[in-house]
Amino acid sequence: MPNSSERHACGHGALAGLRVIDLSRVLAGPLCTQMLSDHGAEVIKIEPPSGDETRSLGPPFDSKGDAAYFTAVNRGKRAMVMNLSHPEGRQALLDMVKDADVLVENFIPGTMQRWGLDFEDELKPRFPKLIYCSISGFGPDGPLGGLPGYDAVLQAMCGLMSVNGDPASGPTRMGIPIVDHLTGYTALTGILLALNDRHRTGLGQRVEATLFDTALSLLVPHAANWMYSDQVPGLLGSAHPNISPYDKFQCLDGQVFLGILNDRQFAKFCAAVGLDHLVADPRFETNAVRLQHRGELRSEIEKTLAQREREKLCSDLMRAGVPVGPVNTVPEAFAQPHAQHRQMRVEQDGYRGIGVPVKLSRTPGVTGSPPPRFGQHAASVLRDAGFDQERIQRLATLGVCPVSGD
């Protein structure tokens, strides 16, 4: 399977020919640039001398000593180290940016400006076609501007924890870094929008994605419910504030999640599990009244499903047109035959990861080379950028850009 630079040269992927400088670390930025790489962009990952912190967030670690966490968001990239606090490091970056289409960074706001690399004052005048994507916790200004932001903190601040959990657990952090994850997708969307605009105008622009904005955008439908009712959303466990029955239930051998959206599906469900009498019950005739009597409805369903085996129940209901699924563990989720059919688990050259979620018919995405070792491609990246051997050696000697034997 070709690596990212080979794909770039061969013209594979919807973003083939796009060159990306990735100064980001941890999750949101690296996930964004990995998705660009999966679809053909050439991504140069530039780490500080201390490295991307995610390399050390283990165990578990891979055979090269990098945390599994790091491998999840850095495949298909070429990597180098550069000290941007050094004048020659900053000049080297500028010389690389002249051939780049996109630059992605997630420093604390003001860092690039302090280094003389501010977009509006320095980069935009020199590189008018550059798309500059800044990812941060809160943005550069406003009451919280410039402050650091972390996924779980934003889940708390922006109300996500307040609607996740049940009365026994209290407000609970979601088990995945959902704010970081969606911020990566938000940044990707912004970059693609800016690329389309550049296609029309020939000009780049600044793209800004913040964890704060992203976290608030996740509050669907809870924010709308509150805005129109003045009722503060609360903890419903796995239930839905606007739909019933829409919750998890216990079967004989495990749990299932039942997601009934409309009256037609409710009737099909009742017929399939022998609860036909509920359809004509005034308490359950419509979703609106089912919400008012969700406790009584849950009790009726629990008694019936507790006698069923979950695999057969899910199979029968899905084929009857009723949305339901087993509450799987992570291994069970990836063991599903459909996960294999959709190519959502990747194993190659010792790398194991999640597949490409966006499927394109003519220019499908491809998972590139395994995540790079620390500083692995410095020499080849610099040579490709037009640096002669003398300058490469000077940068290495100064400690600005360590060079391995690639």
Q: What is the pLDDT of residues 24-37, one digit of tens each?
A: 999 999 999 999 99
What distance in Å separates the CA atoms of residue 100 and residue 23, rounded to the nearest whole number? 13
| pLDDT of amino acid 146 | 94
Q: What is the pLDDT of residues 7-17, one digit of tens each?
A: 444 458 999 99
- 178 within some domain: yes
Per-residue exposure over 216-236, b if at least 16 CB sit within 10 Å of its own CB, e if not: bebbeebbebeeeeeeebebb
**230 counts as catalytic:** no
- Answer yes or no: do 272 and 374 share one domain: no
Q: What is the pLDDT of residues 90-115, one digit of tens each?
A: 999 999 999 999 999 999 999 999 99
pTM over 0.75: yes
- Give the domain CATH number at 279: 3.30.1540.10
- Answer yes or no: do 163 and 302 share one domain: no
Please give the structure tokens belonging to residue 345. 């688990």
- Answer yes or no: do 20 and 108 share one domain: yes
Do the beta carbons of residue 131 and residue 102 sit within 8 Å? yes
Say if residue 5's pLDDT is above 90. Answer: no
Domain, as residue range, for 201:
4-217+350-397
Please give the structure tokens belonging to residue 100. 């780049």
- Paired strand residues for 351: 348
- 63 within some domain: yes
Q: What is the pLDDT of residues 265-307, one digit of tens each?
A: 999 999 999 999 999 999 999 999 999 999 999 999 999 999 9
| pLDDT of amino acid 336 | 95
Q: What is the pLDDT of residues 162-181, one digit of tens each?
A: 999 999 999 999 999 999 99
- Answer yes or no: do 296 and 369 share one domain: no
Q: Is 132 helix (H, G, I), strand (E, B) or coil?
A: strand
> Among the options 101, 180, 316, 384, which is catalytic?
180
Please give the structure tokens belonging to residue 263. 């009256």
- Answer yes or no: do 356 and 211 share one domain: yes
Over residues 187-202, the mean pLDDT reads 98
- Give the domain CATH number at 141: 3.40.50.10540
Q: How many CB atoms lie within 10 A of CB 173?
A: 16
Secondary structure percentages of the chain, helix, strand, coil, to 5? 40, 15, 45
How many distinct structural domains can be found in the chain?
2
Please give the structure tokens belonging to residue 182. 């969606």
- Answer yes or no: do 203 and 260 share one domain: no
Question: Would you place residue 4 in the very low, low, confident or very high pLDDT band (cuts 50, 70, 90)?
Answer: very low
264: left (phi over 0), alpha (psi -120 to 50) or beta: alpha
- Answer yes or no: do 323 and 354 share one domain: no
What distance in Å separates the CA atoms of residue 393 and residue 387, rounded to the nearest whole number? 10
- 236 within some domain: no
- 48 within some domain: yes
Say if residue 315's pLDDT is above 80. Answer: yes
| pLDDT of amino acid 349 | 84
Say if residue 72's pLDDT is above 80. Answer: yes
Question: Would you place residue 405 in the very low, low, confident or very high pLDDT band (cuts 50, 70, 90)?
Answer: low
Over residues 149-153, the mean pLDDT reads 96
| pLDDT of amino acid 37 | 97
- Answer yes or no: do 210 and 320 share one domain: no
| pLDDT of amino acid 12 | 83
Question: Would you place residue 327 in the very low, low, confident or very high pLDDT band (cuts 50, 70, 90)?
Answer: very high
Residue identified by tokens 């630059």 is 103
Q: What is the pLDDT of residues 340-395, one digit of tens each?
A: 999 999 998 889 999 999 999 999 999 989 999 999 999 999 999 999 999 999 99
| pLDDT of amino acid 6 | 43
- 231 within some domain: no
